[in-house]
């Protein structure tokens, strides 16, 4: 232990002498810096004998050690000239001056300084240390300083400028932190970035700020860095929403870090972000099984999260869908405003006391689905992921006694997956494993034994809304089991699924203001979902609605039964168009659940025609896409057409259409006209059902008006 006055002497209180009563007296560093008088503050700065409290009789400032640190780094921030910071920038590979300023870097006339922080029990931050360094030298701590997190600092309040983003990046060391912060900001990502002062130092006091966050650790490519990263994971497991870490590519030099990346990529943020994203993994540490647990460790039975934890505002109010639409339209080209009804309706549906609702949100890249889905990331009762791997969903690894699996964190919530397409490109084994876990999860119970005597067991349900491209169609075409728990909604741009020029133009317009867009969309999504819903608020389902939904469900069940050509080997076994009752029942429930959710979103007392139209579209989109398009085309063409005309209309290859029609002939949906070369008619009862359900009426009207014109 040093002298109680060391920290004061280090930060500009000079000429300190001890008075007979034990107190210390010296020159005030801030008064002295004033230009009007050199005498200012001389011998007016009093320090108590234990060094804990100080008081300047000239400027009137006083406080404890923390306050002294605050005043000191704030004064240093103000004192650093542009020239000082430019000099530092040059010695640090060109880190921008504004980055240095954002992280609270200052200059005291001799040395550069920046603060580090610890969280207090009240949840606020206090400076725990001021680190000092000369150009090109390593920073050192102040006497008696405590290791805290290094973070951006508000130039106004001189407190940490933490935005509360869902994702927090943890870097090793201040320079990596600043370089990464600069890279993210340069591409419009406003995520919080913090730095630990050293690989082995993670301040436990700051753990609460990571609660529920998606934390990404970017430690150096060396033994201390990787060991530190692992320890940080241990500390954060069970607290955070998810963990990812950097796994540097083989062949990179020992000690390679974010700052090296910054230098190598000449501060090009976009390419840094691309490289780092490629190195990220959520895989737990393989060798990190806790042997002390010994024997069976159960995943336990996770219960629904306490709504209070998810901060639903008990006084939250209904938000008018027109207002919501206007907010989204400001940023996104929403050709189909019902996208909002489907997404918010699904989330509300999953908060109701009914079976879970799982929905694929199908659309091409760039159609706006990702922005829409990710806008829900700060809404209550929602868990957002960018993708899925089979290791994250359930993990057999033990972190201490914590379960790193994602699944228990989803229970009682709606899981928003930005891009489910990644699952489809996994090898078949991995993909089947994910779907098998999901199928059990849908039914409310998952149990999975692991080789290391670990058994994970979960009970409870959750909803899913997952973005996916139309790759899902070919992936599920021959394997109904894969997607059968999901209903679908498909984005359409005037008949054809294409990214229109407007959409691309809008995306370009938004580029420069991306972070503002994200924040605004997050705000509105949170506002929409931040209200309690009770059974008495569920809309009424009128009889006509139920009748049409039952027929719709039966229709979709028939269409899902359309056999795949490859399995059809010429045998003329009896196949009938009877709907599979089990599937039809489940579909009918799912459609009604979504309708109720949409009703809650729209504030309806009773479900209406508009809601039915959305449900009818979901029904059509849930059918296998090729069969559905062929039937749609046949219906719109008046219920009778040749294979060639349907092929022209749908733009499917002639042979594809021929096979689909032959299959549907066997199922009794269509009938081949006698004596014609491949002309088909819709079976009368099918035609009648389609008409009654009104699923193609709008396309019908639109096409016919087009033909007349």
The residues binding Zn ion (CB under 5 A) are: 28, 31, 41, 56, 58-59
How far apart are CB 42 and Zn ion at their closest, in Å?
A: 10
How far apart are CB 58 and Zn ion at their closest, in Å?
A: 5
How far apart are CB 71 and Zn ion at their closest, in Å?
A: 9
Helix (H, G, I), strand (E, B) or coil at 550: helix
Alpha helices by DSSP H, listed for 330-427, are 338-349, 369-374, 390-393, 407-410, 421-424
How far apart are CB 57 and Zn ion at their closest, in Å?
A: 8
Nearer to Zn ion, 28 or 465 (CB): 28
How far apart are CB 378 and Zn ion at their closest, in Å?
A: 43
Alpha helices by DSSP H, listed for 352-500, are 369-374, 390-393, 407-410, 421-424, 428-442, 471-477, 480-483
Nearer to Zn ion, 28 or 524 (CB): 28
Nearer to Zn ion, 58 or 336 (CB): 58
Helix (H, G, I), strand (E, B) or coil at 576: coil
Helix (H, G, I), strand (E, B) or coil at 367: coil
* Burial per residue of 475-498, b for 16 or more beta-carbon CB atoms within 10 angstroms, e otherwise: bbbeeeebbbbbbbbbbbbeeebe
Nearer to Zn ion, 10 or 217 (CB): 10
> Taking every pair of C-alpha atoms in the chain, what is the biggest distance, in angstroms?
120
Pull the structure tokens for residue 208: 């609460």
CA angle, 294 as apex, 289 and 298 as ends, to 5°?
Answer: 80
How far apart are CB 29 and Zn ion at their closest, in Å?
A: 8
How far apart are CB 12 and Zn ion at their closest, in Å?
A: 11
How far apart are CB 41 and Zn ion at their closest, in Å?
A: 4
How far apart are CB 37 and Zn ion at their closest, in Å?
A: 12
Nearer to Zn ion, 41 or 678 (CB): 41
Nearer to Zn ion, 31 or 598 (CB): 31
User: 569 and 284 in contact (C-beta within 8 Å)?
Assistant: no
Nearer to Zn ion, 34 or 330 (CB): 34
List residues bridging with 172 in a β-sheet: 196
User: 440 and 446 in contact (C-beta within 8 Å)?
Assistant: yes
Nearer to Zn ion, 58 or 282 (CB): 58
User: 230 and 288 in contact (C-beta within 8 Å)?
Assistant: yes
Task: Give how far Cα 75 sits from Cα of 25, 125, 210, Å.
Answer: 21, 18, 30
User: 580 and 557 in contact (C-beta within 8 Å)?
Assistant: yes
- Count the neighbouring beta carbons within 10 Å of the beta carbon of residue 689: 18
How far apart are CB 56 and Zn ion at their closest, in Å?
A: 3
Residue 52 is classified by DSSP as S
Dihedral in degrees, nearest 10, Cα atoms 521, 523, 524, 527: 160
Nearer to Zn ion, 44 or 622 (CB): 44
Q: Strand 167-172 and strand 192-196: pairing?
A: parallel
Left, alpha or beta for 613 (phi > 0: left; psi -120 to 50: alpha)? alpha
Alpha helices by DSSP H, listed for 350-420, are 369-374, 390-393, 407-410
User: 538 and 596 in contact (C-beta within 8 Å)?
Assistant: yes
How far apart are CB 65 and Zn ion at their closest, in Å?
A: 16
Nearer to Zn ion, 59 or 480 (CB): 59
Nearer to Zn ion, 43 or 422 (CB): 43
How far apart are CB 116 and Zn ion at their closest, in Å?
A: 25
Residue 464 is classified by DSSP as E
Residue 212: Cβ-neighbour burial (10 angstroms; 0-12, 13-18, 19+):
middle
Nearer to Zn ion, 31 or 595 (CB): 31
CA atoms of 91 and 88, how far apart (whole Å): 5
How far apart are CB 32 and Zn ion at their closest, in Å?
A: 8
Nearer to Zn ion, 28 or 170 (CB): 28
């Amino acid at each position: 232990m040093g002298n109680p006055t060391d920290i004061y002497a280090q930060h500009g209180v000079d000429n300190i002498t001890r008075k007979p009563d034990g107190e210390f007296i010296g020159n005030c560093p801030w008064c002295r810096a004033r230009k009007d008088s050199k005498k200012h503050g001389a011998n007016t700065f009093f320090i108590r004998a234990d060094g804990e409290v100080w008081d300047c009789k000239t400027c009137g400032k006083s406080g404890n050690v923390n306050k002294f640190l605050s005043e000191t780094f704030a004064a240093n921030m103000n004192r650093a000239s542009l020239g000082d910071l430019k000099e530092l920038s040059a010695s640090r590979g060109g880190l921008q001056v504004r980055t240095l300023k954002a992280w609270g870097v200052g200059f005291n006339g001799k040395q550069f300084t920046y603060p580090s922080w610890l969280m207090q029990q009240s949840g606020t931050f206090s400076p725990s240390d001021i680190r000092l360094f000369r150009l090109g030298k390593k920073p050192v701590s102040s006497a008696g300083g405590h290791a805290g997190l290094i973070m951006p600092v508000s130039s106004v309040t001189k407190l940490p400028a933490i935005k509360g983003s869902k994702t927090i990046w943890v870097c090793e060391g201040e320079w990596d932190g600043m370089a990464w912060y600069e890279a993210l900001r340069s591409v419009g990502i406003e995520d919080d970035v913090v730095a630990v002062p050293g690989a082995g130092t993670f301040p436990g006091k700051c753990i609460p700020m990571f609660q529920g966050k998606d934390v990404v650790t970017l430690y150096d490519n060396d033994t201390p860095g990787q060991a530190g990263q692992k320890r940080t994971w241990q500390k954060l497991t069970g607290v955070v929403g998810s963990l990812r870490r950097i796994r540097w590519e083989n062949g990179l030099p020992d000690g390679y870090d974010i700052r090296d990346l910054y230098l190598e990529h000449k501060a090009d943020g976009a390419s840094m972000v691309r490289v780092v994203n490629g190195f990220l993994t959520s895989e737990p540490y393989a060798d990190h099984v806790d042997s002390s647990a010994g024997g069976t460790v159960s995943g336990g039975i996770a219960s629904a999260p306490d709504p209070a934890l998810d901060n639903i505002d008990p006084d939250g109010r209904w938000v008018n869908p027109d207002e919501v639409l206007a907010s989204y339209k400001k940023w996104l080209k929403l050709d189909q405003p019902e996208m909002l009804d489907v997404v918010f309706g699904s989330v509300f549906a999953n908060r109701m006391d009914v079976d879970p609702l799982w929905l694929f949100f199908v659309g091409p890249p760039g159609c706006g689905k990702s922005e829409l889905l990710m806008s829900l990331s700060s809404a209550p009762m929602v868990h957002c992921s960018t993708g899925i791997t089979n290791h994250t969903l359930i993990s057999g690894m033990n972190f201490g006694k914590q379960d790193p699996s994602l699944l228990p964190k989803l229970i009682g919530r709606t899981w928003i997956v930005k891009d489910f397409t990644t699952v489809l490109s996994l090898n078949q084994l991995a993909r089947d494993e994910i779907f098998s876990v999901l199928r059990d999860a849908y039914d409310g119970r998952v149990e999975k034994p692991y080789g290391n005597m670990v058994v994970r067991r979960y009970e409870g349900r959750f909803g899913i809304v997952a973005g996916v491209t139309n790759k899902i169609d070919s992936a599920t075409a021959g394997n109904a089991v894969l997607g059968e728990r999901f209903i679908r909604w498909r984005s359409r741009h005037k008949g054809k699924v294409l990214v229109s020029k407007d959409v691309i133009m809008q995306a370009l317009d938004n580029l420069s203001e991306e972070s503002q867009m994200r924040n605004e969309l997050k705000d509105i999504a949170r506002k929409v979902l931040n209200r309690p819903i009770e059974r008495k608020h569920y809309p009424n389902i009128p009889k006509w609605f139920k009748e049409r939904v039952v027929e719709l469900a039966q229709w979709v069940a028939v269409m899902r039964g359309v056999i795949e050509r490859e399995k059809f080997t010429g045998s003329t076994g009896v196949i009938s168009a009877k709907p599979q009752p089990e599937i039809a029942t489940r579909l009918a429930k799912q459609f009604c659940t979504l309708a109720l959710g949409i009703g809650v979103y729209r504030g309806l007392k009773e479900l209406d025609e508009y809601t039915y139209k959305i449900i009818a579209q979901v029904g059509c989109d849930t059918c296998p896409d090729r069969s559905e398009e062929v039937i749609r085309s046949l219906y719109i063409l008046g219920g009778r057409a040749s294979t060639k005309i349907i092929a022209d209309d749908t733009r499917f290859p002639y042979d594809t259409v021929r096979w689909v029609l032959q299959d549907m002939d066997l199922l009794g949906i269509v009938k081949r006209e006698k004596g014609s070369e491949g002309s088909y008619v819709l079976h009368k009862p099918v035609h009648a059902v389609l008409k009654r359900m009104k699923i193609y009426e709008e396309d019908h009207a639109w096409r016919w008006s087009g033909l007349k014109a």
